[in-house]
Structure formats: structure tokens, C-alpha cells
A and B are shown apart, each in its own frame.
Chain A
Amino acid sequence: MSISWPDEIFAELHAARIRQVAYVPDAGHSQLIRRCHADSSMHTVSLTTEEEGVAMLAGAWLGGDRGVLLLQSSGVGNCINMLALNQECRIPLLALVTMRGEWGEFNPWQAPMGQATEPALTAMGVRVYRADTPEAIAETVRAAAMFAFSSYRAVAVLIGQRVIGAKRFEK
């Protein structure tokens, strides 16, 4: 039986009372992004770069809203300095990262940031959870949201490229 893990994430975001969604367009999150945009209880914002989302969601939490950042591993590098906000102010962050540059990657330019994603997050004080099977994703997102908003910490869930499938370049 195949499960729709993006739909399961969407249900978890609802259960976690997520009100603001910030994202940079991403193939792995495309279905989830469509569902967030279609949901009037969530304010969903497209960004020019991922660090904008780190700042926006810090503001959201200051104002009483919970949020989630949807991004690809390459975008983690764009966030590094902005993550000082979360660490210094102990502001929660829930980030769901689809991985590139690992399982069966075709594009060698994705490899450096793919390899650096976890150490870069860890270096900035972000807790890193991984989900490498579709079945593991929902419970991992649930645990990450609980940890982030109850313990006032930044948490990233890395969704393995093996789950999403390597990007195909042939037409």
C-alpha cells in the first residue's frame, strides 16, 4: 500500500495548529504547498530566499502564531545567519527539508549542500530529525512539531531523497 506522505504532513500541520506557511518552491513539497495554499486557516507565503522564512516565522511566533518552513536542502545554506534569531531568542522553528544531493542524484552541483545540510543545521543549534521512508514521515513531523513548540527549539526534519525519488532530467 502506498501512502500519500504529503497529505499526512498536511494533517500533522493542522493537528499542530500551524497558521503560517513559508516556502521556496520545491518539487518534493509541491503537493503539500498546493494544499496549504488552498486552506484558508493557513497563511501561505512564497519567499525569494529561505532565510526570509526563518525571519517571518520568528515574527509569527512572537505574534502568537505557529508556522512551518518548507524548503529544499540547498536552501538550508541560505538560512544560516538568520538562525541566530531562533537560537539566541529561543524561538521555535519547524522546518521540513526535502533532501537533494544524496540518493541517486544526477546533478553534481547539488552534492555539496546536500552533504553539508545536517552539519550546517547542527552548527546553528537546530535539532535534526530524519525520515527515510514514507511511513516514518508523519510521526517524525509530529514529534518535531511537539519538540519545537513545546520546548522552544528549532527543529528540522530531513526527508530523504530516497523517499522523493531522484530528480529525472530526461524529458
Chain B
Amino acid sequence: MSAVLDRRAVVARLLRDRGDALVVTGLGGPSYDVAAAGDTPLNFYLWAAMGGAAMVGLGVARAQPRRRVVVITGDGEMLMGLGSLATIGVDAPANLAIVVLDNEHYGETGMQPAHTGRGVDLAGVARAVGFGEASSVRTESEVEALAGRLFSAKGPVFATVKVSVETPSMVLPARDGAYLRSRFREALLGAEAHR
């Protein structure tokens, strides 16, 4: 069954009511999707560090236990950091949610097939390593349901959203890392960011 969900529409819906949530993105498509949904200093976009998005999210979540932290990444990026799912499952941060935009391919490098299209079930992995809430999302009504749980369910929350291989136009966020980190910290911490 080929996925029909449009990744841009999914991300726009999921982040529509984000409030003051902090968002970390995995490199490639997810960074463009989150930028397209609306740039804000409270988005931290990774442009490399493949496999690290979920763990960046864990560090932010532990530093900011009263804020919701949402990681939005791709299936290839998540596969590279599969061990980090075990680390997060064991650490069990209540305020962290991870969303994988799963097109079952490596979109950034020429649409080579990924394990996720060949039987590897990321939500199954997340359940097996201790995530209390882990789902595979395939329909618009499931996206609606996820949009609520993403910000309210006790974490860690995991969802893999099966999206179409259609590649939307690139919406490039800023890529100067020092700028991205400074604006994120200043928006979050105010004057404390510079102490």
C-alpha cells in the first residue's frame, strides 16, 4: 500500500497548535517541511549530525522539563540513530515526542529505498524499547488524532507517519548554525542565554 499523505500538509497540521513547544528537525526534508510550516526561533534545524536529532531533543527536553519538545525527522535519519530510541525509551522523558516522516526512501540523495519500506517497523522498535505510546500513522484522521496527542500525551511519544515520496519545493531555513543556536537560546532563555 503506497502512502498518500502529503508531508507538508502533515507537518503544517501537526504544528498548527504548537503553542510554545520547542521543535528540533532532522536534516533534509523534515527541516524544509518545518520551515515551510512557519519559521520561528524555537525551531532548531539540523543540517547534518545525521542520527542525532532525537538525542538533541532529549537534551532539550531534560533541560526544559516544563516545555514540550517535538523532534521531526526522516526515516533514514532515525534509522541511523536507532540506538538512541533505546536510550530515550529507558530515560523516558515525559515531555518529548518524536515524529518520523517516513517516505521509505532517502529523499535527499536520490530516493534510494530505505529499510522502512522493506519490513522494518519503526513504531514496533519504539514499542519494543519502552515507548508507552508508539504508532504508525497512515490516514488524515490518524494525523488529526496525533496532532492532539503530540502535545498532551505522557512521553516519550513516538509516531512514524507514512508520507508520499512526492518531493515538495525546497523551503530552506537559515543554515548558519551559530545563528540558529543563538536565536533559539535567546528566545528560550532571554538574557540568561548570554551569561
Residues on A close to B: CB < 8 A? Answer: 19-20, 43, 45-49, 51-65, 67, 81-82, 84-85, 88-91
The complex places the Cα of A84 from the Cα of B46 at a distance, in Å, of: 10
B-side contacts of A89, CB under 8 Å: 177-178, 180-181
A-side contacts of B54, CB under 8 Å: 55
Tell me, yes or no, whether B59 is within 8 Å of chain A by CB.
yes
- Using A20-B59, A55-B59, A59-B57 as known contacts, say yes or no to A91 and B181 having CB atoms under 8 A apart: yes
Which chain B residue has the least Cβ–Cβ distance from A45? B91
Give the residue among B55, B90, B193 with the most A Cβ atoms within 10 A: B55
Contact A90 B49 (CB under 8 A): no
The complex places the Cα of A85 from the Cα of B51 at a distance, in Å, of: 12
Between A and B, 13 residue pairs with Cβ closer than 8 Å are A20-B62, A45-B87, A51-B52, A55-B52, A55-B84, A56-B58, A63-B188, A64-B63, A82-B49, A85-B56, A88-B177, A88-B178, A89-B178
Which chain B residue has the least Cβ–Cβ distance from A89? B177
Residues on B close to A: CB < 8 A? Answer: 22, 24, 44, 46-64, 81, 83-84, 86-87, 90-91, 177-178, 180-181, 184-185, 188-189, 192-193
Contact B55 A52 (CB under 8 A): yes
Contact B87 A62 (CB under 8 A): no
Partner of A56, one of B56, B86, B188: B56
Given A51-B52, A58-B59, A88-B48: 9 more A-B contacts, CB < 8 Å: A48-B86, A48-B87, A55-B52, A55-B81, A59-B24, A59-B57, A61-B59, A62-B185, A82-B49
B-side contacts of A59, CB under 8 Å: 24, 55-63
Give the residue among A60, A63, A82 with the most B Cβ atoms within 10 A: A63
